[in-house]
Structure 1
Amino acid sequence: MPLPLGFMIIGVQKGGTTALSHFLAQHPDIGMATTKEVHLFDAPDFDPAWSVAEINERYQPYFLGMEQRLILGEATPIYIAWQEIIPEIKRYNPQLKVIVLLRDPVERALSQYAMEFVRNNEARPLWLALLLEGARLLRDKSRAPLGARRCHSYRTRGEYVEQLEHLRRYFPDSQILVIDNSELIGQHDQTLVRVYDFLGVPVVDLPASERVFSGDYDRARYPMCRWLLGCWYRFANRRLKSLLSDMGYSPNWPWLR
């Protein structure tokens, strides 16, 4: 079995990771975990003392029957959001290739809020949830399944520049691929070819573009919160564009111009 894993899709939540996982799973040389989000490294019982062999033993049930695939991977988008996970995946496989899908952080935050509200993990109105976010995260730093770090990190998860800066401290740019959700949607074939090339697998019949999963929320709602979030991210996005340029990208994404 070709363990350890050769790649991970590590973020971002609500950024299109389900769709990318679905498309990659159709490639004959790529083995995607049978559970889309394994949540191994962020599990409440994860032990940093686990050896690589012990981690592989926990991964093995998700890749049964994939022994002949050239490369195995999984997608757990919370990995990039929790800084303590990055050195652990580096220790697990220093040659790991990591894929990061980004999305307009304002839309990402609203989509997460809508998801948590529908799941009954959030009862407060959006404006109050955003106002309380810092206090919630400060008060609850646990890995609990319904803890604040997982469910109430609406604004924080959109601070991409800090996440990518931290990622680059452990992985060289040659092992990092950054994609925007708009590219996966609007340039489907070209984007998949980029991913195949990054993973070192041949280009085969490309899966057709389709809407794999999209949480529904009213994009006309919350005009004031939307404006305030836009103001919050404005300067961070400028830093993000500079960082991406330093990594060799020329992003022309609608939200990062």
Structure 2
Amino acid sequence: MSGEQERARELGRIPITASIVGVQKAATSTMHAMLVRHRLVAPTFQNDPARQERNWHFANKELHFFDDEERDWSAPDYSHYYGSRMQEQQTIAVDATPSYVMWPGALARMRAYNPDMLLVASFRDPIERAFSQWSMGRGQRNPYPEFRDAIEQFDDESMLDHVPPGAGRWSVHRRSMVIRGLYGAQLVRGLAQFPREQWLMLNFSEWVRDYTAALDAITDHLGLHRFRRYPPLGHNPTPEEHTGVPPTADDIERLVARYADDLTLFEQLSGLDVSSWPTRRIATGSMPAEELADKFARRFVPSS
């Protein structure tokens, strides 16, 4: 065995006791990437024993354990859900799968696994979040339709309560583009599983403004000492330029109407101040829908 392989030997396994549960496109990848650089946080690995024998393969944060519909949830096997202690000082392992807060039954399954789980959830303006998911999806093998068509096609609120029969994870991911922004409805379900004191709820806008303060809040919540040197922010992989038809002010107004009541519920449940979010500002008349539409339109380039 080479020196590098010897250094990669697993010293033991650590139960996962904390999870970044949402939401997608709200810096969850960055948060997890920073956390695993903390000296007390053990990594999690994909369950691939053959690869692990030859070369440790770090998970790219998302274990997708509790949103796996192929598992037998009547008698779940948790043996593959763990962190790998690679250094003696590591004491905690953290999952980070941002679909958990939205996925039907995921948090109930997590509660059955460990009712004392500590949860972190980052929330972003729902229209900006939807546009960011759409932006990412435009570059995939089966690209999303134009934004106007996507907000019409991918708005099935029943998916908060059940996964459609035969729907795979990526199908649900795509078809839930709009409902992922119904944070109030998701928190009603989430707080029925875990009490508020086990949640740390973050405002993505504040993360962007001062990520070190938000990172301090996360380490405090998880019972870890704060970073002495903060890891640098990573690159955002979401595409910056698009072709096609930009969202119009009418599209924005449609989404504002979709989210307005739920956003009020979310603010009451979370305690977060969302007054600066474009959705709230447009709903209250302090920002024209055209302003957000113009912001998105600047991301589009003419077709070649």
The two structures have a TM-score, normalised by structure 2, of 0.73
Match for 2:15: what amino acid?
A: P
CA distance 1:124–1:251, change in 2 (3 Å): closer
Cα-to-partner distance string for 1:97-117 (whole Å, 9 max, x where unaligned): 011011111011111112222
Task: Tell me the equivalent position of 1:212.
Answer: 235
Residues 99-148 of structure 1, C-alpha deviations (whole Å, 9 max, x = no match): 1011111011111112222103335222122222246977944441432x
**Aligned residue in 2 for 1:105:** 126
Tell me, what secondary structure is at the counterpart of 2:120?
strand
Displacement of 1:29: 0.9
Q: Name the CA distance, whole Å, in 2 between partners of 1:228 and 1:183.
A: 26
| 38, 41, 56: which one aligns with 2:63 | 38
Q: Does 1:233 align with 2:256?
A: no
Alignment of 1:187 onto 2:210 = yes
Is 1:171 aligned to residue 194 of structure 2? Answer: yes
Cα distance in 2 for residues equivalent to 1:26 and 1:4? 18
- The residue aligned with 1:14 is 25
Unaligned 5+ runs, structure 2: 1-11, 45-57, 282-304
Question: Do the aligned partners of residues 28 and 140 (structure 1) sit closer, same or farther apart at CA in structure 2, a change above 3 Å counting?
Answer: same
Partner of 1:122: 143
Distance 1:66 1:10, change over 3 A: farther
Corresponding position of 1:146 = 170
1:157 correspondence with 2:180: yes
Root-mean-square deviation (Å)? 2.6
**2:73 corresponds to 1:48:** yes
CA distance in 1: counterparts of 2:107 and 2:141, whole angstroms: 30
User: Is the contact made by 1:15 and 1:108 (CA closer than 8 Å) also made in structure 2?
Assistant: yes
- Please list the CA deviations of residues 199-246 of structure 1 after superposition, one character each: whole Å capped at 9, or x if unmatched: 00112314244233241245993133233212321222122112223x
Q: Tell me the CA shift for residue 91 of structure 1.
A: 0.6
Q: Which residue of 2 aligns with 1:221?
A: 246
Change in 2 beyond 3 A, CA 1:93/1:66: farther
Equivalent position amino acid for 1:240 in 2 = F
2:80 to 48, 58, 77: 58
Distance of 1:118 and 1:142 partners within structure 2: 25
Secondary structure of the corresponding residue to residue 94 of structure 2? strand
Equivalent residues of 1:121, 1:146 under 8 A apart: no
Structure with the bigger RCO (C-alpha within 8 Å, sep 6+) is 1
Measure, in 2, the Cα distance between the counterparts of 1:107 and 1:232: 14
Aligned to 2:116: 95
Identity of aligned residues (%): 23
Tell me, yes or no, if structure 1 residue 77 matches structure 2 residue 103: no
Aligned residues between the structures: 249
Q: What CA distance in whole angstroms lies between the structure 2 residues aligned with 1:42 and 1:143? A: 12
Q: Deviations over 1:141-199 (max 9, x none)?
A: 4441432x111211100000011111110111110010111222212121111111100
Equivalents in 2 of 1:28, 1:196: separation in Å? 12
Which letter does structure 1 place at the counterpart of 2:23? V
Alignment partner, residue 222 of structure 2: 199
C-alpha contact (below 8 Å) 2:13/2:85 kept by paired residues: no
2:152 equivalent among 124, 127, 131: 131
Of 137-146 and 126-135, deviating more is 137-146
